[in-house]
Chain A
Amino acid sequence: MTRLTRYTRTTAFKLSLLYLGVFTVLSAGLLYYVARNTDHLMSEQVVQTVDAELKGLSDIYVRGGVRAVVETIDRRSRHPDASLYLLTDFAGNALVGNIARLPTMVLEEADGGLRRVRYTRMGPDVEDIERQAMVRTFELRGGYRLLVGRDLGDQLRFSNLLGNALRVWLIGVVVMGVMTWVFVSRRVMKRIDEMSATSRTIMNGDLSGRLTVRGNDDEFDRLAVNLNAMLGRIELLMQSMRDVTDNIAHDLKTPLTRLQTRVETALREAKGEDGYREALESVLDDGDHLLRIFNALLRIARIESMAPGADMEPSDLKALVLEIADLYEPLLEDEGGHFEIDVSDGLKTVCNKDLISQALVNLIENALKYGHPENGSLIVSLSAKSDGGRIVLSVSDNGPGIPEAEQDRVKDRFVRLDDSRTEPGTGLGLSLVKAVARLHGGELRFKNEAPGLTASIDLEQAPGQDGSDHERHDGSDKTGIPTA
C-alpha cells in the first residue's frame, strides 16, 4: 500500500472530500441564486427607466414637435451618466443623440421590444469601445424613430464581481478543505496508529497494557475507555481462569491423593477379600466425589456459556417450590427442622425450570449444612415475592449467617469458608446458583438477618400472569421431556 492510498483510504479523506463537494455545490448554488436575482432586478430597473423616458419623450413630441424632442435629448445627452438616445428621420439620418455606432437593423425593427445590442458611445471623453446596452425603438408620427436605452456596464461589472468572488471562494473552500483534511487525518491517524500499536502489544501477551486516555472526552477517549474496560474484563477472566485452574488442581488433588493413599494402603496391608472390598468401596466413594466435582464444573461452564432465554418457559413458582420442599422435607425433619413456605398463588416466571430447581436445591442444601442455629431447631424459609417487575426467590435459615466481607467471595468457584471445610461438598454450589441467576438476568444476593441468612435470586416476571398450560408433569412421564 503506497503512502497515497494509505491516506486516500482513510475515513478522514473520504469525509473531507464529501464535505468539500457538498459545500462547493451549496455555495455555488447560493451565489448563482444571488446573481440571477440581482440581474433580474437590474434588468427590471432598466426596462422601467427606458419605458418612462420613451413615454416622456413621446409626450414632448406630441406637445412640442420634433424641435422640442431634439432639444430635450440634446440637453439630456450631455449628462455623463445619461441614458442612450438616438432620433432619426424617416430616411434614417441621425438628428440627435449620443450613440456613434449601432447595428442599423435595430432602428428598422420598431416593434417596441427591448433588446440587447452592442454600440459605441459618442463624445470626446469616451474612447472608441464597444459597449452593451438594452435599447428600445419607438416610431413617432412623421416617420421619426426614437431609440432610448440604458448602458449595461454596471450590471456586467456586477456579474464579473460575482464571478470573481465565486472563483476566489471556491479556491478558498478547496484550500480550507485540504487543510482540514490534512489536520484531521494527521491527528486521527496518529491516534489510531497509537491505539493499533498498543493493541498489538496487548495481543502479544501483555494483558496489563492499557490504551492512553487523553482526558478530553472525545470519541477516541470514549473508545479507549471502552476498550480498556474490555481489557480489564479479559484480564479478570484470565485471572479467574488461572484461579480456577489452581483451585481445580488443589481441590482435585486432595481427593486424588486420598484415593491413591487408600489404594496403596490396601495393597500394602492386604487383609483378605473383605479388606480389599472395603478399600475398593471407599475408593469408589472418592471417585464419586471427583465425578461430582467434574460434573458441577462442566455444568457451571455450560450454564455460563448458555444464551439467555434458551430453554426457558413460563413456570408456576409455587408448584416448583412445593416440589422441591417435598423432596427435602424428610431430610430437614430428620435434622429436627422444618420448612416455612411463603409463595403466593399464580406467581409465574419465565425460567429454565431445571436450573432454577437446582439453584433452589443448592441454596436449601447450604441452609441445611451451614444454617443451623446454636440453640433451637433449623427453620428454612422459602419465599417468592413480586418486587418491582421482578420475582425475588429466597431461601432463609436461622443460623449464624455469613460475615458481610465474605458474602461476595463465597459465590466464587471452590471458595469454602474455613468453618465449612469439614462439611462434605465441592465448593461449587453457590457458583452454580450465581451462574443460574445471571442466566436469568438476575443476581445472587445475601443478607444477614441476625439471626440467619437470606440468599435470594431475582427472576423475570412472566408477562400476563396466566399461562396455566405450562404446568409441570404429574410424574407419570418417565423421561420428563418438557412439553414445550
Chain B
Amino acid sequence: MLRILVIEDDPEAAGYLVKGLSELGHTADKAGDGETGLQMALDSRYDILIVDRMLPRLDGLSVIQQLRQAANHTPVLILSALGQVDDRVKGLKAGGDDYLPKPYAFTELQARVEALARRPKSASQVETTYTVGNLTLDRMAHSCKRGDVEIPLQPREFRLLEYLMQNAGQVVTRTMLLENVWEYHFDPQTNVIDVHISRLRSKIDKGFDTPLLHTIRGAGYTIRDTAH
C-alpha cells in the first residue's frame, strides 16, 4: 500500500485518480493548487507525488523544484496536457522522476506509479542480482540462469529482462519498456515490443514448467513466479 498525493486542479481528474488509486489499495490525498500541494508534501510523508504541470498559484515544476530544494526526494510523477518531448525534458530536469502525458490510460499511470515506488532510493540499495522463481540475473557478471541452465542473452534482451526483473511482480507497459530499455519516447503503432518480449520469453520460459513472463492484456507485461 502506498501513500500518494495527487496535486491536480481539475477536481474531476483528481477525483478519478484518487478513486482509482484507492481501489488499488493505496491511500490517496488530493491538493487543488500548487501551494497547498507543496505544503502537504512537505508536512507529511508520501511515497509518491503525482503532480500536474499546470496548477493555480504555483505551477507544477516550481512545486517540484521547491520540494527538491527542501531536500525532499519523494518520487514525483509529472502529468501534463502539453505532453511532448521538450516538456518532458523540462519536467525531468526540474526534478521529476517520470513523466506521463495526458491523455493517458489509467493502467499506464498505475504501472508507472508502482515502478516509481519500487525504485531503489539510493545507489546502495541497487541489487546486483535479481531473482524471480528459479530465474536469476547477475548484473555484475552479465549472466542469466534458469535453475542450473545458463541462458545466453543478447545485450538488448539482457536490458529488457533486467528492467522487467527490477519491477518483478509489477506490470510494466510497452511504453515504459520503450522508454527505459530503448530510450525512445513515442508510441509505435505496431507490436514491435511484443516481438522482443516473445523472443525473450522463448529463451527464459520455453522448456520450463512454470512460465514467468506474463502478458497482462490491455496493460503490458509482468515477470513473476505464480507458484508462490
Contact = CB atoms under 8 A, between A and B. Distances in A.
Contacts of B89: 311, 481-482
Interface in B126-180: 156, 159, 179-180
B188 A281 contact: no
Given A354-B185, A355-B85, A425-B189, 18 more contacts: A288-B105, A294-B103, A295-B103, A295-B187, A298-B83, A323-B182, A328-B192, A334-B195, A361-B184, A361-B186, A361-B188, A365-B188, A365-B189, A426-B189, A477-B183, A479-B97, A480-B183, A480-B185
Nearest to A425: B189
A314 interface: no
A294 B83 CA distance: 11
Nearest to A476: B159
A318 to B, nearest CB: 17
A310 B89 CA distance: 13
Contacts of B86: 306, 310-311
Interface in A367-382: 368-369
Contacts, number: 91
A266 to B, nearest CB: 15
A394 to B, nearest CB: 19
Give the secondary structure class of A's interface. helix
Closest 10 CB pairs of A and B: A284-B218, A480-B183, A358-B186, A330-B195, A331-B195, A302-B84, A354-B85, A331-B192, A365-B190, A479-B92
B191 interface: yes
A78 interface: no
B206 interface: no
A369 B107 CA distance: 28
Interface string A391-435: 000000000000000000000000000000000111001000000
Interface residues on A, range: 35 or more
Q: Residue among A331, A368, A479 with the most chain B CB within 10 A? A: A479
Contacts of A328: 192
Given A310-B86, A311-B86, A354-B85, A475 B159 contact: yes
B175 to A, nearest CB: 10
B32 interface: no
A134 to B, nearest CB: 89
B187 A285 contact: no
A368 B190 contact: yes
30 contacts: A281-B217, A284-B218, A288-B105, A292-B189, A294-B103, A295-B101, A295-B103, A295-B187, A298-B84, A299-B83, A303-B84, A311-B86, A311-B89, A326-B156, A327-B182, A327-B192, A327-B196, A354-B85, A354-B185, A355-B85, A358-B184, A361-B186, A361-B188, A362-B189, A369-B190, A429-B189, A475-B181, A478-B180, A479-B92, A479-B97
Interface residues on B, range: 35 or more
Given A334-B195, A473-B183, A475-B181, A311 B188 contact: no
A158 B68 CA distance: 93
Interface string B99-129: 0010111010000000000000000000000
A287 interface: yes
Contacts of B45: none
Contacts of B199: 330
B81 to A, nearest CB: 9
A168 B84 CA distance: 74
Given A295-B101, A475-B159, A475-B181, A481 B189 contact: no
Nearest to B84: A302
B196 A281 contact: no
A369 B188 CA distance: 13
A477 B159 CA distance: 12
Contacts of A368: 190
Contacts of A481: 89, 92-93
A383 interface: no
Interface string A343-359: 00000000010110110
Contact of B104 (A291, A303, A358, A365): A291
A426 to B, nearest CB: 7
B32 to A, nearest CB: 25
B62 to A, nearest CB: 19
Contacts of B98: 479
A299 to B, nearest CB: 6
A299 B84 contact: yes
A310 B186 CA distance: 18
